[in-house]
Amino acid sequence: MLWGLLAASIPVIIHLLNRRRHKTVKWAAMQFLLKATRESRGKKRLRHILILICRTLGIAALVAAASLPLVGGFFGMGAGKPDLVVLVLDRSASMEAKPENSGLSRRALAIQRIRDAVADLSGTRLVLIDSASGAPQEVPTPEVLGELSSTAATDSAADLPDLLTTAANFLAETPGRAELWVASDLQLSNWLPEDDRWTRARASLESLPQPPRVRVLAVSGESAGNQSLRILSSRRNGDRLELELEIARNGPALSPLGVPVTTTLNGARSTDSVTVTGQQLRFLKTLPTPETDESGFGWISIPGDGNPRDNVAYFAYGPALPVTSGVVAQPGEAADYLSLAAAPDGFGGQTSERIGPDALSGKIVDETAALFWAAPLPAGPIAERLEQFVRDGGQLLVFPPDTDADTEFLGITWSEIQNAPSEQFFILDSWDRADGLLRDGIDGTPVPADRLRAVKRRIPQGDASILARWDDTEPFMVRQVIGKGTAWFIGSLPDYSWSNLGDADVLLPLAQRAVVAGAVRFDSGYLTRVGASDSLPAPNETRERFDSYADASTAQADHIAGVYRLGDRVRAVNRPASEDLAGQIETPAVSPLFEGLSFSLFEDTSSSARDNISRSVWRAFLIAMLFFLLAEALLCLPKAMPRIESPTAGAQPSTPR
C-alpha cells in the first residue's frame, strides 16, 4: 500500500503544469499595478505553498492510513500487514520463570504480547511452531493462542536452530509475504549460537523466493527469586536409596537461606530443611528402602517460587544390583591396589574381577560398572569394545603401562616414562576441586591429593580436558567424555616403584567415585529426561502416570516430567539439566545469527501484561488527513474585500488639485 505515497506528488505536478500554461507578456501600463501589489506578493506565495503542502500531506496521510501501520519497539516506527506470521514459541522449562514483580511467567507474557500484536494485523494468517512438538499448527484466531495445549507450560528444552529450519521448510511451501516471529527468553542452552546448524537455518531462510522479515521478542528483565532442585544421581545400595541432590538459587548469594525439602517415597511424606549458604548446594539424601520392596518411586520437592517447573525432581528404583568392576593389569602391586580400591572390605555388594586384555568379552562390558586398565593402550577389536563400554555409560580408568608403546586410544597417547631427579618427586600441585574424581566431597571435605608423590610418570598427550596437573604444569589426569560415559587417563601407577598413589587417601575416593558413576548406568535405567527416546512409549506400550505431585493429565505427557509406567517399564522423567543453567545469549550476539535477513530484536522488560509491544496508528493518519484537508479549504477561502463607505449627504466632494 505504501506505493500509493507516489500519489502525494499529484498536487505538485498539477501546480507545475499550471505554471507552464501562462506566458508572461511585458506591458508598460501593468508596471504601475505590479508596483502596487509587489508588497503583498510574498504573502500570496506563502499561502499558495501552504495550500500545496496541505494537499500533498492529505493524500500521503490517506495512503498511510490505508496501509494499516503499527508502531512500537517490536515493529519499529512502522510496519505494514504481512499475509502470514509464523510464530516460533519457546516453551522450555526456563520460560516459566517469572519476571520481578509479575504474577505471570515469561511464556504467558510472550503469548499475550504476540496475541495483541497479531490482533492488530487484522486478517493476517497465524501459524504456530512450538518448541515442544516442533510441528507447524494453524491458529484460527489470535484470541485462542493462550488456550491451546501447544502453548502450555512444559518441562522440555528448546532447540532454536532446528525450529528455524522447520519454519524455513514450512515457508518454502507457503507463498505470500511472511514474517517470522520468535518469542524466547534467550536461554543460551536453547539457542546454541556456536552450533553449525545456524548456518544451514539461515541459508534456508535466505534462499526463499520471498525471505521473511525476522522479529525476535526477547522476554528478558530481572527474574523473581528462585531456587531449583534436581537429582544428580540415584543408586540403590542394599536397603537404602542414595540420591545426590543439588539446590541452586539465582541472584547474588547475600545470606544463608533455609529451604524445606519434602520427600515423598511410595506415598509416605517427610520434610526436613537444608541451608544454602552460596548459590549452590549439593548434598546426599539417603532413603530407607526395605529389601522386601523390589521397586518403588517418589519425588523430592521444595516450595514454589519464581519458577514452579524446577521445584521437583522425580525418582524410581528397582532391586538392588551387585556392582562389579574389572581390573586389567599384569600381576603385581598395581593390580592388587586397584582390586582393593574397586571393591574395599566393608563395601557390600561390590566385587572386582581381574581380566586379561584378550579376555575382555561383551558380557563383561555389559555387566561391569568400571574398568581399571593398567596395560598398554588397546587397539583393534579390543579398543572398539572398550569405546562402546564408555559410550554405554561405563567408567574407564587408564593407567600408564611399564612398557613403551605408540598406540593411540580415544585421541590420547602416553609420553615416554619420565623419572624424577634424584631425591626429588613429582608433586601434584593443582586439581579441580569442583569437578572430576578428585573433587571435594559433598560436605566440602577435600581429597588430600597434595600428598601424592611420584618418582615415575607418563604424561597423557592429546586433546582432552585437564583435571589435575603436576607442579611443573604437566597434566596428571585428563578426561574424555564419550557418549554416556567417561575415560580417565591418570599419569602414574599405584605401585611404590612409581608413586604413593596406592595410599587409600587418594586412590580409594578416586576409584570409588568412578565405580559409583559407572554403577549409575544400571540404576539410571529408571531415570531419564523429558524428550529422551526412553521417556516415550513404544508403539505397543500404554502410558500411565504414577505420581500425584501435579495434574496427572497425559495430554502433553511427552513434554511433562513425572513418574510413568510405559508398558512393563517404569521411568522417572525429569526436565533436562540444561534448563537449570542461568546463562543467556547476549543480545548483540543475536543479530549475527540472522545476518543477511531483515531482522529486528525487541527486549521486553515489562512485567505487566497490560503493556503492549505494538499499537495501530491508522486512525491517527485519518485524523491527520482530515486536518490537512480542512486547513487547505480554509486557505482557499477568498479574501474579504474592504468595505467602501458612501459619501455623507450634503458633503462637498473634494476637488483634486
Mean pLDDT, rounded, for 146-163: 93
Residues whose CB falls within 8 Å of the CB of residue 126, separated by 6 or more in sequence, listed in order: 84, 85, 87, 118, 138, 139, 142, 145
**Looking at residue 29, what is its pLDDT?**
62
- Give residue 145's pLDDT band: very low, low, confident or very high (50, 70, 90): very high
Q: Supply the pTM of this predicted model.
A: 0.72
CA atoms within 13 A on the CB side of 9: 5
Is the pLDDT confidence value at 77 over 50?
A: no
Residue whose C-alpha cell reads 523429558 in the numeric block: 530
Are 489 and 458 spatial neighbours (Cβ–Cβ below 8 Å)?
no
Query: Taking the alpha carbons of 333, 334, 335, 336 in that order, is the dihedral positive or negative?
Result: positive
**Looking at residue 442, what is its pLDDT?**
77
- Picking from 206-210, 418-422, 624-628, which range would have the lowest pLDDT averaged per residue? 624-628
Are 184 and 581 spatial neighbours (Cβ–Cβ below 8 Å)?
no
**Looking at residue 580, what is its pLDDT?**
87
SS (H, E, C) 134-165: CCEEEECCHHHHHHCHHHCCCCCCCCHHHHHH
User: Could you tell me how far CA 299 lies from the centroid of its own chain?
Assistant: 25
Higher pLDDT, 525 or 85: 85
Q: Where are the beta strands (DSSP E) in 548-605?
A: 562-566, 569-574, 599-604
Is the pLDDT confidence value at 203 over 90?
A: yes
Tally of residues, the chain: 657
Tell me how far apart the alpha carbons of residues 415 and 435 are, in angstroms, rounded to a whole number: 25
**Looking at residue 657, what is its pLDDT?**
44
Mean pLDDT, rounded, for 337-365: 84
Q: Which of 186, 165, 176 is nearest to 212 (CA)?
A: 176
Q: Which of 436, 460, 459, 457 is nearest to 446 (CA)?
A: 436
Is the pLDDT confidence value at 399 over 90?
A: yes
Largest CA distance in the chain: 151
Q: Which of 104, 12, 105 is nearest to 51 (CA)?
A: 12
Backbone angles phi, psi at 94, to 5 degrees: -65, -20
**Looking at residue 61, what is its pLDDT?**
80
Mean pLDDT, rounded, for 585-609: 83
446's grid cell:
577435600
Tell me how far apart the alpha carbons of residues 603 and 386 are, in angstroms, rounded to a whole number: 49
Q: Which of 571, 546, 523, 442 is nearest to 234 (CA)?
A: 523
Q: Where are the alpha helices (DSSP H) in 428-569?
A: 504-523
Residue whose C-alpha cell reads 486478517 in the numeric block: 123
Q: Which of 113, 101, 264 is nearest to 181 (CA)?
A: 113
Q: What is the pLDDT of residues 242-279, one digit of tens each?
A: 898 999 988 665 688 899 999 999 989 999 999 988 88
- CB 296: neighbour CB atoms within 10 A? 20
Tell me how far apart the alpha carbons of residues 419 and 456 are, in angstroms, rounded to a whole number: 5
**Looking at residue 587, what is its pLDDT?**
85
